[in-house]
Amino acid sequence: MSILITGAAGFIGFHICKRLIEKNIKVVGIDNFNNYYDVNLKKARINLLQKISKPKNNFDLINIDIVSKEELLKVFEKYKPNKVINLAAQAGVRYSIDNPDAYIQSNIVGFSNILESCRYNCIEHLIYASSSSVYGGNTNLPFSESQGVDHPVSLYAATKKSNEMMAHAYTYLYGIPSTGLRFFTVYGPWGRPDMALFLFTKAIIEDKPIKIFNKGNMMRDFTFIDDIVESIIRLLDKPPVPDKDFKKENPNPASSWVSHKIFNIGNSNPTPLMSYVSAIEKALGKTSRKVFLPMQKGDVEATAANTSKLEDWINFRPNTSVEEGVKKFVEWYTEFYK
């Protein structure tokens, strides 16, 4: 058994690689180490993976960009992975406003290359990252996979919905079992520096003000990284199967007559932004200075996940509390940055 993971130096990719390496599974990691955020953090993650895997010799890192179809196909041909977890993407809703080309290249062209590589290499199961942002202008909480996702409010969200549609088409055409995961605001140790938890923690420690958008009137379904990892590990061995009850005359967006599924992965416990800030202040033992700002373009006021479909499929429900998760992040941050 070998598993290929794209975005291996990224936040979620690193944690998935680490868990699989510790389970003595052969991992082939791909990353292009782009400079969207601190490359040194990405290198530190990889250094840890290489250290953990050294006694077992079960981790190979390939420095390529999935936009290069030729190089990607060579990796598939050489390593012949059984399963693929695609986490490589240009992340960030706000960044997509000013840098749309990066999203078209990585999230559309790159994902197309992943699908083509899976097509020609008999992949048993493709798991790929979608996003809660696909729910866009929807305000009917909690979000359910059976709801429509036809009204994105950012290009990032539009590319993620495109990924879901592309994967379904390849499942239908070429029989690739595929699972799309709509992540809800993932956080935790080794997290991304562009996310609120990282930005707030850094600013509070440095006695700088934190920026609170929509004047604090926001809510997110913050999901701890360990719950994400556990969900993906369980999903690896449970590829989707066709829904025999699917009705083409009245199609349900949450299901399909082919081997393709979409799952929400969230904490199912949406938290007000100001409560999140309070949890950070408590973990640091320090009060923040706040600057209240209007809502930013592409952002949404609230997210909340209905995860009953995921729970039924893998018998697991993400459940780490914000207080516990934030505390673990702050402990990592203060240790890593001394």
**Half-sphere exposure of residue 190: CA atoms within 13 angstroms, side-chain side:** 23
156 belongs to the catalytic site: yes
Q: How far apart are CA 84 and CA 3, in angstroms?
A: 6
**Angstrom distance (rounded) from CA 253 to CA 224:** 26
Q: Which of 156, 170, 187, 276 is an active site residue?
A: 156
Question: Among all residues, which ones are annotated catalytic?
Answer: 156
